[in-house]
Structure 1
Amino acid sequence: MATKILLPIDHTDDQSWKKALPVALEQAKFYGASLEVVSVIPEIVLLPNLPANYGAGAKDHVTGILRGVLDANGAEDVAIHIEEGSVYREILKLAHKEGFDLIVMASAKGDFPNYEIGPNLARVVRNAHCSVTIVRA
């Protein structure tokens, strides 16, 4: 039984949520669990030729995109986490730190029998402390 569900979303790829978001919402309703979303943006490396505030507003930008997606799909009350760094590491750290007991993730699009499971999904499945549901895209 799940009490806290985490749904990772790539704000640049609607395949990461089109099928997974409805499944996560259904699971949350079924279990009476809370649902939260995470998006991981690459860590911004400050180079000498970039302005000091380069990358400022990136988290707000991604939050705005995710809020639009969630609001348009019946998930207005879902909390959003924006992390910076390695995708799979940040998902695993957040899931462990915040006590999530189910992660719902979308696979990449692929035809049978060669469903595409990318490196981030594979690492989350292998290393998660909790159950992971894979939603085929």
Structure 2
Amino acid sequence: MTSKILLPIDHTDDRSWKKALPFALEQAKFYGAELHAVSVIPEIILLPNLPANYGAGAKDHVSGAVKAILEAGGASDVPVHIEEGSVYREILKLAHKEGFDHIIMSSAKGDFPNFEIGPNLARVVRNAHCTVTVVRD
């Protein structure tokens, strides 16, 4: 049974949430589960040769963008986690640390041979400690 669902959202790519958000809301309602969203700021901000304040305000910007997406999708009460680093690693770390038992991720159209599964999705599916549902585009 599912009690905590994690939905990764990339605010720059509506394919990451257009179909996955309604599906995640449906699953949360069906199971009576908590739904949380996560967005990961790529690790370029953490490179040592960048100025100390590089990326200042990025968390606030991304958080605002994700909250706007959730509000437009009828999910304004969903908690938002903003992480920094490697996308798949941060999703997996958060899911494990916070006890999520279901991750719902959207696929994206890609090039041969990975038509639907990008590298982050593939790594989450391969390494997650819990169920991962892939919502196809």
The answer, yes or no, to whether TM exceeds 0.5 is yes
Task: Give distance in 2, aligned partners of 1:34 and 1:56.
Answer: 30
**Cα distance 1:54–1:115, how it changes in 2: closer, same or farther (>3 A)?**
closer
Describe the superposition over 1:39-90 as per-residue Cα deviations: whole angstroms up to 9, x where unpaired. Answer: 0011212436x3x322111000000000100001100100000000001000
Match of 2:118 in 1: 118
Q: In the alignment, is the contact (CA less than 8 A) between 1:41 and 1:83 conserved in 2? A: yes
Query: Partner letter of residue 47 of structure 1?
Result: N
Task: Give distance in 2, aligned partners of 1:7 and 1:124.
Answer: 12
Unaligned runs of 5+ in 2: none
Alignment of 1:1-137 (within 5 A): 1-43=1-43, 44=45, 45-47=47-49, 50=51, 52-109=52-109, 115-137=115-137
Query: Partner letter of residue 87 of structure 2?
Result: V
1:13 Cα deviation from its structure 2 partner: 0.3
Query: Partner letter of residue 21 of structure 1?
Result: L
SS at match of 1:77: coil
Query: Partner letter of residue 13 of structure 2?
Result: D
CA RMSD of aligned residues (A): 1.8
SS at match of 1:132: strand
Task: Give distance in 2, aligned partners of 1:13 and 1:40.
Answer: 13
SS at match of 1:68: helix
Matched positions, count: 134
Task: Give distance in 1, aligned partners of 2:17 and 2:67.
Answer: 13
Query: Partner letter of residue 117 of structure 1?
Result: I
1:115 Cα deviation from its structure 2 partner: 4.0
SS at match of 1:96: helix
SS at match of 1:10: coil
What percent of counterpart residues are identical? 77
Structure 1 residue ranges (4+ consecutive) displaced by more than 4 angstroms after TM superposition? none
SS at match of 1:53: coil
1:136 Cα deviation from its structure 2 partner: 0.4
